[in-house]
Structure formats: structure tokens, C-alpha cells
Structure 1
Amino acid sequence: MFGRKQLTSVYIVDDNSDAIEVLRRMLESQYSVKVIGTSTDADTAIEEIIQLAPDLIFTDVEMPTMTGIQLCQLLHQEVDPNTKVVFYTGHDKYMIDAIRQKAFDYLLKPPSPQDLAQTMTRFYEDKLASLPQAAGPAEQRQPRILVVNAMNEHIALRDADVAFFRFDADGKHWEAVCTNGSTYILRSRTNSDFILRYSSSFVQIHKRYIVNVSHIMMIQDNTCILGYPYEDNRELKVSKNYRRDLMDAFYTL
């Protein structure tokens, strides 16, 4: 409809799978849009949104584990303040909250073709207007990793913040060990494959360790030694099965 060569990436969050499919069909059949992800669970959605970095997010408001308002607030505070979030809900009582959270738009369910057209037109116009101020490669949005602290608060870390990941066999979860000495627990469903997809800087060196190769000072026999900011040159064991991948990643830095 808008004749744009590059598809706009969209993520949809709604605890009603039927509503997701209705919106998906409306978007992909009428606009240059690719729905790159959907979720009926807000917690899962946050992790995937951080990883996929969609151009536009549509979210319901009333959901079991987290409201769309809370999701928007978390994304704006911990991930990117410029994240474009459209609320679509069966109630107009959340409109003031949406405005306070700087939502990009607010639609009532089911969205009419006319209302959706206004939202998408505004999105394309806004995107076009921002092109002259597009960020350079060093300023573009960096991948973030979602972690949970002891207070059960969500925190998004840049890949550069993490020195290595350690698997806690007793707790059956991965932990992110940061360069500032802090340790954060990742969600129990987060496995090694999921961590490795976040950044090419992350390389598995042992069944218990995934290291950020940017922080490796040297590799000696079956040990990798982390440099700054570790004054004691933190050492991590390297398994034979993972040594070749580590060496390849280290020498291509």
C-alpha cells in the first residue's frame, strides 16, 4: 500500500491468540509489514523484543502476568526510550496511562481499517522524518540481555557489560557476571543457545561457562584469562569440545 521496499518489523503481544492472528492478517495484507514475533505472555515477549528489536510493537493492555502499560514502561526505561509501542485494547480507560508512558498510539479492539491506516501512516511519516538524524553504526541500538535481580526487578544489560555467564547446576539457571562485579540471574527457561544468539561476542567455552571474548586477555592451555577490569586476572576453564570455537572467535577479534 505504501510501496516501501523495506518491510517494517512488528511484534504483537496479546494473551488472546485469535486477536493476534486478526491483527497479523490486517498488517501483513495491507502494509509493508513483517510480523517477526508474537507472544501470549508478556514476560516472554520482553525477552524476544530485546533480541529481535522490532520497529513497532502492538500490545494488549490487560494480560495475566504483566499489563501492556507495565511492558511499555519497562521497554522505555530499560531497553530504549524510543521504542514505539501501540496499545490496542477493548477499553478506552487506559488512554491516559498510555499517554503518560509515551505510547506511540492507542487503538480500540478490534481496530478498524481506518484507525489502523492512521497509525501506520503516522509511523511511516515519523520514520521518514527521522532519517536525516539516523544514528551512525556506533550509536545504533545495541543488543540487550534481560536479567532479574534479587528484588525480581527486570534489568536489561548491554553485551559489553557482561564478562561471562556461569551455569548454576543447583539452581538450574544461568547467571550473568558483569564487569562491575555484579551477578544477575537469568530466567530459568534461558538456555545456552538463547544466550549465544544475543551477540557474536559470546562464545561457549565449557558446559558451565559462556565468555565474552572481548574481555579475554589470553588463552593458556585449557584456561582463558580475563583481563581488565579483573585485577586478579580471572581464570575460566576451557573444555576440549569448545576450544576450537573459542580460538576462532578470539583470533578474529
Structure 2
Amino acid sequence: MNIAIVDDDKTAARLLADKLKGFEEAHISGIATNGMDGLALVMDTNPDLLFLDIELPDISGIEFLERIADSAASDCRVVMYTAHQKFMLSAFRNQAFDYLMKPIDDQELRTIIRRVCLDMQMPKPVSPMRVALSDNAANAVTMYADGIGRRTDGKFLIYTNAVDFRLVDVRDIGIVAYQHGSRVWEMYVSGLDKPIRLKRNVTSDMIVALDPSLVRVSQKHIINLTYLMEVTDNTCRLFPPFNNLTDVKVGRFYRKKLIEMFSGF
């Protein structure tokens, strides 16, 4: 795992680098102390993981995120690295993978590295910056039902009724919850105020078939494993922005498989 660090505080950057050297998976590809040098570092090394300070002397970390979003480095997982919780929401709205508070908590750092290792094992859509698809290929869809399908670019095509649909990236899905009253599954997606209600003919098997990171944990819930922080008192605790979903219980018949997938890396 190649890791880059962008932080104008040289002492903090070196401390983080020293902690990362304790992980055998980690290789530090470079450290930059301002935003422009950081952008050059990311473009030159194309790291798997970037620790990015939100407050830089020349550009903000949020602007940094926006600049790399449409570049060849867009697949890089970015951890916003800050002493200020007020910046967290902006970070996630701009597609940050996670955040790390200063001063660094060793357990939080281990959790982030574990999440990155799991995410690197998951199949990801091919970046359009690297492969130019024909119009026909880009629009091809494998439909699991008339309500949900997977495009060749990896995004999910979700029909909410007979004519309306929405494209969703698996990295934006937190959980999918079954609503017994209406007998439909609802998908919780980052950046949306309300869950997306799926068509009634969409089943749990169709949902988990979309991507290996989608794992069923009970009769009522399917979670995105990359957002799972821990299981305490038989309840899933999720990373932001889904940390407010506190009723995701693990069913007895699903617990063993969840533990195997959660711990198997």
C-alpha cells in the first residue's frame, strides 16, 4: 500500500509517517508540506492512500480534494487529517474515504488501515481516465430485476418506479434496510437526506449480488462492509456519514459469516 502525506506541520507529518511504518502493508511514497507540492506528489506517485491536512497554507484540503477528483489519481483513498471536527461533513461531501483526528489515536489509525486493506480487495469500477469505453459499452447494464442492475462502469442503475431511476456508486452506500410495513428495501446513500426506496420485486439476494462489499447481517439489514467500524452488543457501529444509524443488529444466523469477512484480511 503506497501512502502519501500532505501536511504543513512537519512534526505532525513525521509522527504520522513513523506510526505508519509500524504496518507491514504501508510504504511511504512521499511527504509534502503544502497543497501544490502535495498535488504534484499525488500525480507523480498515484498513492493508494493519502493523508491530507484540511488546513494548508496555499489551498484548502477541500479544494485539494476537488482538484484530484477528476484526475488520474481519483481512485486514491483520501483520509482527511485534522484537529477540527467542524470540517468532517465538508470532507465527506467531497468524497473523502475517512477522517483522522489530531492528535492521532493509534486504534483509530489501525481501524483506517484495516478499512483501506479491505477496500483494496474489493472490485472497483474502472476509472474513465484510464480506459475509454465506447458509448454502447458504457451504457450496457446487467439487470438483476426490472428494478436494479449494474452498469459496465460499476455503478448501479436503480429504478424507483416505472420510469424514474438513479445511478449509485457502491462506495456511497451505507446500508440497505427492509421496511416490513411497505415490504420494500430502502438504500441509505451518502449525500441524500432520505433513503432510496427500491421496487418491491428487488430481493436481498439481488442486492448482495451487486458487489462483494454488500453483506447481509440480519433479516432486516444489508451493510456495506467498508463502513463497518465494529460490532458491540450485537450492533453494527458504522463510520461517518452513517454513524447515526444505530439500530443495525446482527442476526444469529449471519454473525459467523460477518465475523469471517470482517476479520479475514
> Structure 2-normalised TM-score?
0.46
Larger radius of gyration between Structure 1 and Structure 2 = 1
> Structure 1-normalised TM-score?
0.48
